[in-house]
Amino acid sequence: MTKQADHPTSADLTNLLDETLPPSERDRIEAHLEDCADCREALARQGGEDRWWNAASGLLESPPASHPSTDADLRELQTVLAATDDPRMLGRIGSYEIAGIVGSGGMGIVLKALDPALNRYVAIKILRPSQAGTAQAQRRFEREGRAAAAIVHENVIAIHGVAQFKSIPYLVMPYVRGESLQTRIAEHGALSLKEMLRVGCQVAAGLEAAHQQGLIHRDVKPSNILMDEGVERLKLTDFGLVLTSDEDSVTRTGTLAGTPEFMSPEQAMGKSLDARSDLFSLGVLLWTMSTGRPPFAADSCYGVIKAIVDTEPQSVRSFDPSLPVWWESLIARLMSKRPEDRYDSAESVGSIMRACLAHVQDASKPLPAELLAPRRFFRWRVWLLLGTAIAFLAWLPSMFSLPQDVSPQSESGDVSTIDRPEDTDRPEDTAFEDDTQLQPKGQLTNDWDDGTRERLDAIRARLERFHGDSLGP
Amino acid sequence: MPWQVPETRPSILLRVRDASDHEAWTAFESIYRPAIVRAACLKGLQRADAEDVAQVVLSGLAERPIGFTTDGDARFRSWLARVTENAVIDRFRKQGREANLIAESAKDASETDFTSCFDLEYRREVFQWAAKILRREFSTDTWAAFWNTAVENRSVDEVASELGRSPGSIYSSRTRIMRRLREQVQHFDESLEGEL
């Protein structure tokens, strides 16, 4: 009997696929699926009838047209490369001898190349030949290259030059031997507080330099942070390559980023951005370093975007209770859904984090004032005080009235005033709960939540235009 | 009250009949060209000739816009198959007498033979196209959960332990992808479902 009651309904299964269930409920249903063949079948049918599963298996297996993506990159590249005399090299771009492919994104391919004039290795980022057909892509690539070249800062990768080869633009940068922060996190998990502060200070400093040039990075994430010599000297890369003001920027960013896990809510929704978008991403970066995994995880790109827009990240202290409360409030403030609730500039974040680092290294140094009195706590206390006062005032007249009037009045007064602080203080949380319980969107009061669903649908439609190279995992 | 037209997104196969819809054309070409090439190869054409045939058919379509009609995708596609088959036979004719004989015998063998061969290649291309798009929408793990169990038919438990996930999450992840795959395939050609 109780077993029967445990079966998820058809709507539950749909919600499971939509990624709209609270984690506990999702885990419960997934555990149930392991034991219940009937529910597995019901779920599979929501994916498609048997003929769909069979077709997928038959038509996708050993895809004749698919190949490893580096092969595809290489083939694409070979349409451009000039012949070289050096048998160890793939070919030539201008005077640079190309040694290999280091990485690739939707818009560009990164190559390791030898600069024969200076006999040193450089990294060359070249616009994908398949993208080079559009004058817009070319102009954008070159414009961003020039903008990034204007930033001279020790925490920003230098641009040696911007040039064209067979009318395809490319950038020349120093070749950084070290691993990326992404590799570091993947291999060693969370970083220590001191290391995180060092990373944070340098990233903030690099962003500050960019913002002063009017450039928004838009793609702050661990794989774009190169570690030359451990965490002591970081270089922010991929500067501004995704910076555009046109509508297409969301898809472009998505193509380059692969997943939008580090995007700000305004960026995920394709709204207009300012420098504070990078501050949100910096917050996500700090969160990721604190826990070893990004805060907004979901199966699909769409799910990640939805999580960024709708949900508050879990507390980093629930992963590691030894992290200080002030660290958590620093991250929470950076990751505010509304840009105006974040810090006002990379400069102020940088100076706060430098003071934090000093405090961590020497406990006699004070924490910055911003972190000593967390705003939320403060506001919460004000509300509580106000609430108590109202409750008291509501209760006061009942002192003088008949006894039977007392209890209902005082109870209702208490309930409403005690509930109030939490409700008013954290509207984002309310939005999160509403959504996970799949209540109608109309109940949301958050002004920036208006039209979210439509925007997500639009983003999803645009994501459909993505083209990958290989199918297998 | 104003009359409300229900919002529907026409399939790409429907949209491609409007020659100015570049997005639809790009998708259409990326699916249709390899399908023609492979079907033509299976009928005995050399690869280079098959590629020429594809070029002839596609440029023919681009030059003579088919017009935006409300015919079903199925009807449009069988028309495409006929156009393609004629182009293949034309090619054989041009290649001379010996090849001509092969072509005639191939044609005699069965009128539906080429169509079914072309349809299979076409379906394969549509699924591959959809999968390529989806590949970017889902995390690597999720894709691996789908690919390893649904396409390569490996056991769920084995794949789950390989990915460090619960078997239950493999069921939900792969179904999530299957549902999107179906949606994407139908986005290209709504009539395909009836023929699987």
- Sheet of strand A91-93: strand arrangement: A91-93, A96-104, A108-115, A120-127, A168-174, A161-165
A1-37: pLDDT as tens digits? 344 458 999 999 999 999 989 999 999 999 999 999 8
A308-321: pLDDT as tens digits? 998 999 999 999 99
Instruction: Output the pLDDT for position A358.
Output: 94
Q: A8: distance to nearest CA of chain B, Å? A: 13
- For residue A230, pLDDT over 50 is answered with yes
Instruction: Output the pLDDT for position A251.
Output: 39
- For residue A269, pLDDT over 60 is answered with yes
Buried/exposed A114-127: b ≥16 CB within 10 Å, e otherwise: bbeeeeebbbbbbb
CA–CA distance, B150 with A61 (Å, rounded to integer): 10
Pick the residue with more confidence: A406 or A234?
A234
- For residue A188, pLDDT over 90 is answered with no
Instruction: Output the pLDDT for position B82.
Output: 83
Nearest to B178 among A53, A61, A259 (CB): A53
Is A449 part of the annotated catalytic residue set?
no
Identify the closest residue of chain B to A63 by CA–CA distance.
Answer: B128
A126-164: pLDDT as tens digits? 888 777 767 777 777 777 788 788 888 999 988 888 888
Burial class, A447, CB count within 10 angstroms (exposed 0-12 / middle 13-18 / buried 19+): exposed
Tell me how far apart the terminal alpha carbons of chain A are, to the nearest angstrom: 42
What count of CB pairs under 8 Å joins A to B?
Answer: 139
B119-159: pLDDT as tens digits? 888 888 899 889 988 888 888 889 999 999 998 878 899 89
- Using an 8 Å Cβ cutoff, are A63 and B128 in contact? yes
Chain A residues within an 8 Å CB radius of B32? none
**The length of chain A, given as a count of residues:** 473
% of chain B with per-residue pLDDT over 90: 20
CA torsion B185-B186-B192-B196 (nearest 10°) is 60
Which residues partner with A104 through β-bridges? A109
Which residues partner with A300 through β-bridges? B138
Q: Which of residues 301-320 of A touch B (CB under 8 A)?
A: 301-302
CA–CA distance, A352 with A354 (Å, rounded to integer): 5
In terms of DSSP bridges, do strands A225-227 and A120-127 run parallel, antiparallel, or are they unpaired? unpaired
CB contact A38 to B (< 8 Å) = no
B61-118: pLDDT as tens digits? 777 656 545 556 777 777 888 888 888 888 877 776 455 555 555 554 444 467 777 8
Q: A374: distance to nearest CA of chain B, Å? A: 36
**Which two three-digit tokens encode residue B49?**
């000739």
Q: What is the CA radius of gyration of chain B?
A: 20
**DSSP string computed for A63-131:** -TT---HHHHHHHHHHTTPBP-S-TTS-EEETTEEEEEEEEE-SSEEEEEEEETTTTEEEEEEEE-TTT
Pick the residue with more confidence: B148 or A229?
B148
Instruction: Output the pLDDT for position B20.
Output: 77
Chain A residues within an 8 Å CB radius of B131? 60, 63, 471
B128 to A468: CB separation less than 8 angstroms, yes or no: no
CA torsion B146-B150-B156-B161 (nearest 10°) is -40
Chain B residues within an 8 Å CB radius of A467? 30, 132-133, 136
Instruction: Output the pLDDT for position B22.
Output: 80
B176 to A43: CB separation less than 8 angstroms, yes or no: no
Phi, psi of A126 (to 5 degrees): -115, 140
A433-467: pLDDT as tens digits? 333 333 333 333 333 344 555 666 665 555 544 33
Q: Which residues, in sequence order, are CB contacts of A89 under 8 Å at separation 6+?
A: A97, A98, A99, A114
CA–CA distance, A436 with A153 (Å, rounded to integer): 44
Instruction: Output the pLDDT for position A432.
Output: 32
Contacts of range A20-26, beta carbons closer than 8 Å, 24 or more positions apart: A20/A435, A20/A436, A20/A438, A21/A436, A22/A436, A22/A437, A26/B172
Instruction: Output the pLDDT for position A412.
Output: 40
Pick the residue with more confidence: A106 or A377?
A106
- Using an 8 Å Cβ cutoff, are A101 and A111 in contact? yes
Coil, helix or strand for B57? helix
Amino acid at A343: Y
Rounded (5°) CA angle A372-A376-A379:
105
Instruction: Output the pLDDT for position B161.
Output: 92
CA–CA distance, A26 with A145 (Å, rounded to integer): 45
- For residue A302, pLDDT over 60 is answered with yes
This complex has an ipTM of 0.85
Nearest to A471 among B135, B166, B178 (CB): B135
Identify the closest residue of chain B to A46 by CA–CA distance.
Answer: B179
Instruction: Output the pLDDT for position B109.
Output: 46
Q: A234: distance to nearest CA of chain B, Å? A: 27
